[in-house]
Amino acid sequence: MNERQPARRPGGRSARVAAEVHQAVTDLISERGYGNFTVGEVAARAGVADSSIYRRWGSLERLLTDVALTRLNAQSPMPDTGSLAGDLRTYAANVAREITGPDGLAVVRLAVALSNNGPQGLQAGDDLRADRMRQLQSMLDRARERGEHAPDAFGVLDHILAPMYIRVLFGMVPLTPEYIDGLVDRLL
């Protein structure tokens, strides 16, 4: 394979629109709280047409889910460092950075709100969890293929993600590197 072959760029107009729409959603959640704005208001703030949002995301719920999923997953691919400890430490640090960042609280609260908003919210919450669990699972599967002993994805949720989310929700920050690595080491 020719490694000089130009990679397909994720950038361009489409990515720029997505970034602006995501930021508009995050800002509106911070300012007004979840459930207090419309697709039209997101569109106006992002400088795009309502129809662009409906075409791409289908509904406000799906857009909100996409924002929460992208941000909770630290806007970066799952790490692949060659060891499970390395993967989990990097992943946990990325999540911690995202949820303790300027928009982090709004995003965690959005994820919480999505699970409590009637059937559509529940469905969005399920999608969010399913996607997140699949990504985690593939990281854990790689570790097992290397012969490492790996916890299941629910162990990662319960003992790495849940403590970090709850500490952010309860204002018990910062999450220090020692604290984060301690969660990983304890689970492993």
Shortest spacing between CB 23 and its own copies, in angstroms: 20
Of the two residues 80 and 126, which places its CB atom closer to its own copies in the complex?
126
Local structure of 49: helix, strand or coil: coil
Shortest spacing between CB 122 and its own copies, in angstroms: 6
Cβ contact 42:51 at 8 Å: no
Q: Pull the structure tokens for residue 3.
A: 């490694």
Q: Pull the structure tokens for residue 172.
A: 């018990």
Which of residues 15, 49, 130, 172 is near its own copies by CB under 8 A? 172
Shortest spacing between CB 93 and its own copies, in angstroms: 17
Q: Based on the shown chain and the rule CB under 8 A, indicate whether residue 165 belongs to the binding site for its own copies.
A: yes
Shortest spacing between CB 10 and its own copies, in angstroms: 29
Q: Based on the shown chain and the rule CB under 8 A, indicate whether residue 169 belongs to the binding site for its own copies.
A: yes
Cβ contact 67:26 at 8 Å: yes
Residue 159, class by beta-carbon neighbours within 10 Å (0-12 exposed, 13-18 middle, 19+ buried)? middle
Task: Report 78-107 residues binding its own copies (CB under 8 A).
Answer: 105
Q: Based on the shown chain and the rule CB under 8 A, indicate whether residue 129 belongs to the binding site for its own copies.
A: yes
Determine the Cα–Cα distance for residues 99 and 83; give it in Å rounded to an integer.
24
Determine the Cα–Cα distance for residues 166 and 78; give it in Å rounded to an integer.
22
Which residues contact its own copies by CB under 8 A?
Answer: 105, 109, 111-112, 115-116, 122, 125-126, 129, 157-159, 161-163, 165-167, 169-172, 183, 186
